[in-house]
Amino acid sequence: MKHDLFTRVALTEDLPGDRLRRGDVATVVEQHPGRPGQEPGYTLEVFNAVGETIDVVTVRESQVEPLTAAGLLTVRPLAPAARRAAALRT
């Protein structure tokens, strides 16, 4: 399924290297067509609860899904290392 630019999507799996979890919400900021035989992908911008950018990641199309009315947004604390990294970028 193709996701349009600037739409919000949810991760379908954990991204431990980025301290992101399945269900975290992000915004599509770039689309990457796959090479022949390769899955397309996206660059996502991830925000904290007050709208500050905390990470930008690139994922395969199968790692995201559209948000639906059946979903519920929640808030979870960031891992300390993720907070430090975000503070360093500002």
Residues in the chain: 90
Q: What angle is formed at CA 13 by the lines to CA 12 and CA 17, rounded to 5 degrees?
A: 140
The pTM is what?
0.83
Q: What digits encode the pLDDT tens for the residues 1-42?
A: 699 999 999 999 999 999 999 999 999 999 999 899 999 999
CA-closest candidate to residue 10, choices 29, 28, 24: 24
Q: How far apart are CA 52 and CA 57, in angstroms?
A: 15
pLDDT of residue 87: 58
What are the residue boundaries of the structural domains of the chain, listed by start? 8-89
Query: Confidence class of residue 49 from pLDDT cuts 50, 70 and 90?
Result: very high
pLDDT the model gives residue 34: 87
